[in-house]
């Protein structure tokens, strides 16, 4: 008892003071006091326990609290827990809040759930809200098609669209609209009888396209389609006819070459047959001499008969030579 009474009074006081300081240090380390105080001063109170939980869950609590303060200043009724959930799901809470502020200012009906769903679907929710307020213009490239008279016509269209917030999820984007518009231009030009119909009134293209409701199953509503440029291309009809004529010409040339080759083959065949017949004639002539010799041996053919036959052959040769000379003096008209 004496020893306990002998302990100076400042010792337990010092120990208590050290514990208080240690507790404050732990509190400052574990609890982001500056963030809590900034939220409290801004009128967007966030409990210390929630801030400690955010820090333990490795959430970017500084960014989250700053965006929460902005939403409260803009008059949005959003709980910080909903923003934290969206942030942990991989969403962009800054764009969601900006979109809600823009829609609130423009008096557009956009709920927090819709904004979060649009953001998680991969679309720019801020751009969707802006486009729903102020329509934007998208432009096609040069679209080429051929009229019924074979003249090619090229056209460029400007499409004015407005975003529909209730159709942002699971619908097609602007690429689909441009593709459909291009298809409509091709169809309209192809149904025209002449290119002058398109050149004199390009609005026939836009009127035909608008009647097809090309914005179905898309995230946008088409307000207008305007043909901003039209030009004449090639005369594809004449080009196709020329190419067809060239193809027929080549086919005819190939057929002529084939007939020529057949004629040459036939000529060679006839020459071979002529040689064969000459061989047969020579064989027959050799048999004639044998027959004459045999007849002379048997006394059926005398020497005088043989001389008469030679004279007849010589007379025949002379007549043939004379007739040939006359033919040479008077050439054929075709040879002239």
- Please check whether residues 143 and 94 belong to one and the same domain: no
- Please check whether residues 107 and 183 belong to one and the same domain: no
Least confident range from 37-51, 61-75, 184-198: namely 37-51
pLDDT at 186: 92
Across the chain, what does the average pLDDT equal?
Answer: 83
- Please check whether residues 190 and 211 belong to one and the same domain: yes
pLDDT at 3: 44
Give the number of domains in the chain. 2
Residue 232 falls within a domain, yes or no? Answer: yes
pLDDT at 232: 85
Tokens 């946008």 locate to: 220
Predicted confidence band of residue 33 (pLDDT cuts 50, 70, 90): confident
CB count in 10 Å sphere of residue 52: 16
Q: Pick from 110, 70, 77: which is nearest to 93 by CA?
A: 70
CB 150 within 8 A of CB 127: no
Q: Which of 91, 108, 133 is the last residue of a domain?
A: 133
Q: 231: domain CATH number?
A: 3.30.479.30
Phi/psi at 46 (nearest 5 deg)?
A: -130, 130
- Please check whether residues 121 and 143 belong to one and the same domain: no
- Please check whether residues 14 and 120 belong to one and the same domain: yes
Residue 320 falls within a domain, yes or no? Answer: no
Residue 335 falls within a domain, yes or no? Answer: no
CB 220 within 8 A of CB 168: no
Predicted confidence band of residue 23 (pLDDT cuts 50, 70, 90): low
CB 84 within 8 A of CB 114: no
Q: What CA–CA distance (Å, rounded) separates 42 from 24?
A: 24
**Domain hosting residue 65, numbered range:** 10-133
Least confident range from 3-17, 247-261, 265-279: namely 3-17
pLDDT at 1: 40
- Please check whether residues 159 and 225 belong to one and the same domain: yes
Q: Which of 238, 267, 292 is the last residue of a domain?
A: 238
Say what the pTM is.
0.59
Give residue-wise pLDDT tens across range 70-98: 999 888 889 999 999 999 999 999 999 99
Residue 288 falls within a domain, yes or no? Answer: no
Q: What is the mean pLDDT of residues 22-46?
A: 75
Residue 228 falls within a domain, yes or no? Answer: yes
- Please check whether residues 217 and 202 belong to one and the same domain: yes
Give residue-wise pLDDT tens across range 202-242: 888 888 888 888 888 999 999 999 998 888 877 766 677 77
Q: What is the mean pLDDT of residues 301-309?
A: 72
CB 126 within 8 A of CB 96: no
pLDDT at 246: 83
- Please check whether residues 121 and 140 belong to one and the same domain: no
Least confident range from 46-55, 128-137, 163-172: namely 46-55
CB 110 within 8 A of CB 99: yes
Q: Is the confidence at residue 5, as pLDDT, over 60?
A: no
- Please check whether residues 128 and 142 belong to one and the same domain: no
- Please check whether residues 118 and 211 belong to one and the same domain: no
Q: Which of 113, 133, 153 is the last residue of a domain?
A: 133
Q: Is the confidence at residue 190, as pLDDT, over 50?
A: yes
Residue 52 falls within a domain, yes or no? Answer: yes
Question: Two tokens at 286?
Answer: 């050799």
Q: Following CA atoms 298, 303, 305, 307 in sequence, which dihedral angle do they give, to the nearest 10 degrees? A: 150
pLDDT at 335: 45
CB 202 within 8 A of CB 148: no
Residue 175 falls within a domain, yes or no? Answer: yes
Q: Longest Cα pair distance anywhere in the chain, in angstroms?
A: 193
Residue 306 falls within a domain, yes or no? Answer: no
CB 139 within 8 A of CB 159: yes
Q: What CA–CA distance (Å, rounded) separates 62 from 55?
A: 10
- Please check whether residues 208 and 161 belong to one and the same domain: yes
Question: Two tokens at 105?
Answer: 């200012």
- Please check whether residues 207 and 150 belong to one and the same domain: yes
Q: Is the confidence at residue 158, as pLDDT, over 70?
A: yes
């Amino acid at each position: 008892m004496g020893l306990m009474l002998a302990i100076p009074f400042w010792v337990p006081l010092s120990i208590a003071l050290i514990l208080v300081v240690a507790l404050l240090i732990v509190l400052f380390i574990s609890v982001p006091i500056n963030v809590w105080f900034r939220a409290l001063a801004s009128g967007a109170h966030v409990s210390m326990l929630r801030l400690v939980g955010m820090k333990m869950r490795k959430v970017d609590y500084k960014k989250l609290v700053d965006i929460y303060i902005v939403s409260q200043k803009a008059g949005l009724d959003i709980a910080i827990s909903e923003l934290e959930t969206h942030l942990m799901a991989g969403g962009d809470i800054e764009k969601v809040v900006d979109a809600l502020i823009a829609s609130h200012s423009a008096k557009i009906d956009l709920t927090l759930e819709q904004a979060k769903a649009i953001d998680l679907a991969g679309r720019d929710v801020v751009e969707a809200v802006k486009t729903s307020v102020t329509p934007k213009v998208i432009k096609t490239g040069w679209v080429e098609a051929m009229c019924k008279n074979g003249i090619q016509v090229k056209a460029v269209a400007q499409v004015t669209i407005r975003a529909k917030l209730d159709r942002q999820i699971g619908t097609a984007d602007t690429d689909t609209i441009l593709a459909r518009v291009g298809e409509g231009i091709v169809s309209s030009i192809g149904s025209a009888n002449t290119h002058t119909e398109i050149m004199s009134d390009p609005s026939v293209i836009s009127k035909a396209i608008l009647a097809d409701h090309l914005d179905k199953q898309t995230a946008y509503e088409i307000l207008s389609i305007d043909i901003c440029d039209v030009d004449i291309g090639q005369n594809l009809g004449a080009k196709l006819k020329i190419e067809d004529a060239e193809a027929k010409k080549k086919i005819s040339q190939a057929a002529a070459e084939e007939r020529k080759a057949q004629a040459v083959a036939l000529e060679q065949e006839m020459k071979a047959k002529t040689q064969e017949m000459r061989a047969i004639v020579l064989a027959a002539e050799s048999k004639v001499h044998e027959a004459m010799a045999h007849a002379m041996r048997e006394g059926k053919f005398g020497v005088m008969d043989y001389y008469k036959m030679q004279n007849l052959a010589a007379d025949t040769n002379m007549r043939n030579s004379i007739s040939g000379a006359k033919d040479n003096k008077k050439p054929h008209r075709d040879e002239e």
